[in-house]
Amino acid sequence: MANVTEAHGVLQGDYVTLRRMRVDDAAITFGWRQAERARMLNAGAANVEQQANWIAGRPASEYNYIIELNNGTPIGMLSLVGVDKTNRHAETGRFLIGEEEAAKGVPAAVEAMKLLYELAFDELKLVRVHGTVASENKLMLKWQKYLGMKEEGRLRQHYFIDGSWQDAVCLGLLEEEYRSVSLPRMAVLMKVGAKPA
């Protein structure tokens, strides 16, 4: 297991580090949200100032991270929100690799998700995480299901994206599925990604 402790606002992996998002990340995160790849996400801020205000307004209970390569290059973002310590569940989301070229050849997305799951299941002792993905975001749906999430339902016409309605596909992952499916598959993808060509 990577060195996962959130005590200092940092989750340290072998390839990437998750550090808490700051207001001065507004410009770069706003830029990522404007990119083609982010078209399947919910509409975000209209400008950098709004993005800064949004970041500043995040409640302390949310874990909003910037994904950095271990050379310090920020490449994306990822969050764990809605942490319910009574019912021991939370929602993953805001997952975006914004610097695709910098991330190529590095198992960055996989390790970032692994670090977030380690925070959720190992440190926060949650029993379940869940999230929603737009129904036309087929790559993300395949990816989340491959890594263990199960489809639990649909919210019909939940998102208005690119001028049309899309369902929200509700996905969930239980702790035992994280340990039996997610961790082995993440290990494989990290090993594949780490092999020199």
Partner 1 sequence: MLTRDGVLEIIFRALNNLNDEMGPDDKFDVTPTTKLFGADATLDSLALVSVIVDVEGDVSSALDRSISLTDDRAMSQKISPFDDVQTLLNYIMELVNEA
Identify which range of 57-65, 79-87, 100-108, 148-156 contacts partner 1 by CB under 8 A.
100-108
CB 125, min distance to partner 1, A: 27
Residue 86 C-beta-side C-alpha neighbours within 13 Å: 0
Which is it for strands 128-134 and 89-97: parallel, antiparallel or unpaired?
Answer: parallel
Residues of this chain, 5-64, that bind partner 1 according to CB under 8 A? 36-37, 39
Task: Tell me which stretch binds partner 1 (CB under 8 A): 3-11, 82-90, 103-111, 126-134.
Answer: 103-111
Length of the chain: 197
Instruction: Return d(Cα 13, Cα 177) in angstroms, integer.
Output: 21
Q: Taking Cα atoms as reference points, which of 154, 149, 116, 150 lies closest to residue 134? A: 154
Query: In this complex, which beta carbon is closest to partner 1, that of residue 83 or of residue 116?
Result: 116
Decide if residue 185 touches partner 1 (CB under 8 A): yes
Helix (H, G, I), strand (E, B) or coil at 73: coil
Residue 177 binds partner 1, judged by CB under 8 A: no
Cβ–Cβ under 8 Å, residues 10 and 123: no
- Contact footprint for partner 1 (CB under 8 A): 36-37, 39, 97, 100, 103-105, 107-110, 138-140, 142-143, 146-147, 185, 188-189, 191-193, 195-197
